[in-house]
């Protein structure tokens, strides 16, 4: 069979490969502690599950508008206002089957040979994979440990060229937990005034997952770029709903019809019951979100010092999300070597840093989506390797 050239360029997410190997080892009877996976280890709140069940019982089992049902888009608009002070019309919101389709569609819209798309590195691997799939040139935005894994606005602006079509940013960030300070966002946005043709996609999927009283800086709060801004967000992380496949994005007037058309061509709509669950999640009690974040915070405070006790590990305290990204260069291993040794010898699953980009070399990502007992034991097992 002859396939398109683009298919050779499509990458993947190593976390899923690590998960497959971890499950294989578990099936062989090995005791594996999984700190590799990027999903909360909590259940979707009961009232959200009940809303989906009720929707099905009420007969909501058909197609919905491709853009998503209006009450859900209204609930999203109200939520964005309540949490980030942003004014967004439901007409500019598209409901998506998860967070990923927004990046897929945005990159499809802007990517083609001869043009450049900038993306965070280390960053979510699908950005680069999709950029390469379209034939566009991926231009990494280095996120450095000495900069708390935030982008440097000056560096981003220096790397924009007349071929740049789209800049992708992500804060709080996967895989680092880094949070970009407001001053840096301010500086980037004001510099972008010189590049009015360049679009921005801000991946804000961890916008509700911040620690130490940090406040999320949404790109939605910058009216001067709203006509070229796409914001990706969703329910997966905040409401522990990764498997439901529910996300949303905000699009400018000039793009909303185009993304709805892509949705019609691709998935028609998100399944109806899930959309009703999304309304319940946003409008119901947020107690489960608060409890989850308290728990993540306690784990974060525990895991960072434990990792820093291991010879050769240097780990920052993340400002958001549920990942730590220690530098392990001084252990004398590469990230991949250490990941393999941790999984095969110590029975601890983590993800090598270079699967998130070249600037992730010499790092490993641990997700603290596991119980404190398991995390403590896992880090002890890793320490015993040295
Ligand atoms: N964006 C970032 C930065 C992520 O870390 C993830 C998932 O890990 C996603 C998007 C995708 O989320 P979803 O599972 O809703 O597609």
Contact 296 CB / ligand 1 (< 6 Å):
no
Contact 357 CB / ligand 1 (< 6 Å):
no
For the cut 90, the answer to whether the pLDDT of residue 38 exceeds it is no
Note the pTM of the prediction, 2 decimals: 0.97
In this structure, the strands spanning 93-96 and 116-121 are unpaired
* Mean pLDDT in residue range 85-99: 97
Max Cα–Cα distance, the chain, nearest Å: 60
DSSP 1-47: ----GGGGG----HHHHHHHHHHHHHHTT---EE----S-SSPPPHH
Contact 236 CB / ligand 1 (< 6 Å):
yes
- Domain boundaries, given as residue ranges, for the chain: 5-43+287-383, 61-283
For the cut 90, the answer to whether the pLDDT of residue 14 exceeds it is no
Indicate the length of the chain as a whole number: 386
* Mean pLDDT in residue range 339-359: 96
107-126: per-residue pLDDT in tens? 999 999 999 999 999 999 99
For the cut 90, the answer to whether the pLDDT of residue 49 exceeds it is yes
Tell which one of 237, 318, 320 to mutate to probe ligand 1, the residue whose CB is within 8 A of the most ligand atoms. 237
| Confidence bin at 21 (pLDDT 50/70/90) | very high
226-240: per-residue pLDDT in tens? 999 999 999 999 999
Is residue 167 within 8 Å of 308, Cβ to Cβ?
A: no
* Mean pLDDT in residue range 68-77: 98
For the cut 90, the answer to whether the pLDDT of residue 50 exceeds it is yes
- pLDDT on residue 13: 83
Mean pLDDT of the chain: 97
Lookup: tokens for 235:
């329910």
**268, 275, 324: which is closest to 301 by C-alpha?**
324
- pLDDT on residue 249: 98
Contact 176 CB / ligand 1 (< 6 Å):
no
For the cut 90, the answer to whether the pLDDT of residue 37 exceeds it is no
Q: How far is CA 260 from CA 106, 112, 251, 257, in A?
A: 12, 20, 10, 5
Contact 233 CB / ligand 1 (< 6 Å):
no
Chain centroid offset of residue 315 CA: 20
What is the distance between the alpha carbons of residues 360 and 128, in angstroms, rounded to a whole number?
A: 13
Is residue 318 within 8 Å of 176, Cβ to Cβ?
A: yes
- pLDDT on residue 343: 96
| Confidence bin at 318 (pLDDT 50/70/90) | very high
- CB count within 10 Å of CB 191 equals 15
- CB count within 10 Å of CB 162 equals 9
For the cut 90, the answer to whether the pLDDT of residue 16 exceeds it is no
Residues pairing with 120 in the sheet: 141
Percent of the chain surpassing pLDDT 70: 100
Residue 361 CB partners (closer than 8 Å, separation 6+): 334, 335, 353, 354
CATH class of the structural domain 61-283: alpha beta
- pLDDT on residue 63: 97
Backbone angles phi, psi at 164, to 5 degrees: -70, 130
For the cut 90, the answer to whether the pLDDT of residue 196 exceeds it is yes
Is residue 93 within 8 Å of 69, Cβ to Cβ?
A: no
Contact 203 CB / ligand 1 (< 6 Å):
yes
For the cut 90, the answer to whether the pLDDT of residue 316 exceeds it is yes
* Mean pLDDT in residue range 147-157: 98
- pLDDT on residue 18: 87
229-234, strands of its sheet edge to edge: 93-96, 247-250, 229-234, 199-203, 164-170, 116-121, 137-142
What is the distance between the alpha carbons of residues 208 and 231, in angstroms, rounded to a whole number?
A: 14
For the cut 90, the answer to whether the pLDDT of residue 203 exceeds it is yes
Dump strand ranges (E) for 209-263.
229-234, 247-250
**38, 98, 77, 72: which is closest to 266 by C-alpha?**
98
For the cut 90, the answer to whether the pLDDT of residue 176 exceeds it is yes
- pLDDT on residue 3: 93
Q: Could you say which of 3.40.718.10, 3.40.50.300, 3.90.1150.10, 3.60.20.10 is the CATH number of the domain covering 5-43+287-383?
A: 3.90.1150.10
Residues pairing with 121 in the sheet: 142
* Nearest protein Cα to ligand 1, atom 12: 99
- pLDDT on residue 12: 85
For the cut 90, the answer to whether the pLDDT of residue 15 exceeds it is no
Whether the domain at 5-43+287-383 and the domain at 61-283 fall into the same CATH topology: no
**98, 103, 57: which is closest to 244 by C-alpha?**
98
What is the distance between the alpha carbons of residues 229 and 249, in angstroms, rounded to a whole number?
A: 10
| Confidence bin at 19 (pLDDT 50/70/90) | confident
* Mean pLDDT in residue range 214-243: 97
Please give the residue that has the higher pLDDT: either 39 or 127: 127
| Confidence bin at 88 (pLDDT 50/70/90) | very high
Is residue 97 within 8 Å of 118, Cβ to Cβ?
A: no
């Amino acid at each position: 069979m002859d396939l398109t050239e683009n298919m050779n360029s499509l990458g993947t997410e190593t976390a899923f490969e690590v998960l497959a190997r971890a499950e294989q080892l578990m099936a062989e009877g090995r005791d594996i502690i999984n700190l590799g996976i990027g999903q909360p280890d909590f259940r979707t709140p009961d009232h959200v599950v009940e809303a989906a069940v009720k929707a099905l019982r009420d007969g909501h089992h058909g197609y919905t508008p491709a853009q998503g049902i209006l009450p859900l888009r209204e609930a999203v608009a109200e939520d964005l206002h309540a949490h980030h002070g942003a004014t967004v019309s439901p007409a500019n919101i598209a409901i998506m089957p998860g967070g990923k389709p927004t990046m897929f569609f945005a990159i499809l819209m802007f990517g083609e040979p001869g043009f450049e798309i900038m993306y965070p590195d280390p960053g979510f691997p699908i950005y680069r994979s999709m950029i390469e799939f379209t034939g566009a040139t991926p231009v990494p935005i280095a996120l450095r440990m000495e900069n708390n894994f935030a982008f440097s606005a000056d560096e981003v602006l220096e790397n924009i060229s007349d071929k740049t079509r789209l800049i992708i940013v992500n804060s709080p960030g996967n895989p680092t937990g880094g949070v970009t300070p407001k001053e840096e966002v301010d500086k980037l946005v004001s510099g972008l005034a010189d590049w009015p043709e360049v679009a921005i996609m801000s991946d804000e999927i961890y916008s509700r997952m911040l620690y130490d009283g940090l406040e999320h800086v949404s790109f939605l709060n910058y009216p001067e770029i709203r006509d070229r801004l796409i914001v990706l967000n969703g329910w997966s992380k905040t409401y522990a709903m990764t498997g439901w496949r529910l996300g949303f994005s905000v699009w400018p007037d000039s793009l909303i019809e185009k993304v709805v058309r892509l949705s019609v061509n691709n998935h028609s709509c998100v399944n109806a019951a899930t959309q009703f669950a999304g309304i319940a999640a946003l409008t119901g009690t947020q107690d489960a979100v608060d409890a989850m974040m308290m728990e993540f915070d306690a784990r974060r405070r525990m895991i960072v010092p434990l990792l820093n006790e291991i010879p050769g590990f240097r780990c920052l305290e993340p400002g958001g999300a549920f990942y730590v990204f220690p530098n392990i260069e001084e252990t004398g291993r590469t990230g991949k070597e250490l990941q393999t040794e941790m999984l095969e010898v110590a029975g601890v699953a983590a993800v090598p840093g270079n699967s998130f980009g070249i600037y992730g070399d010499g790092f490993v990502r641990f997700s603290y989506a596991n119980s404190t007992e398991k995390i403590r034991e896992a880090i002890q097992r890793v320490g015993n390797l040295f």
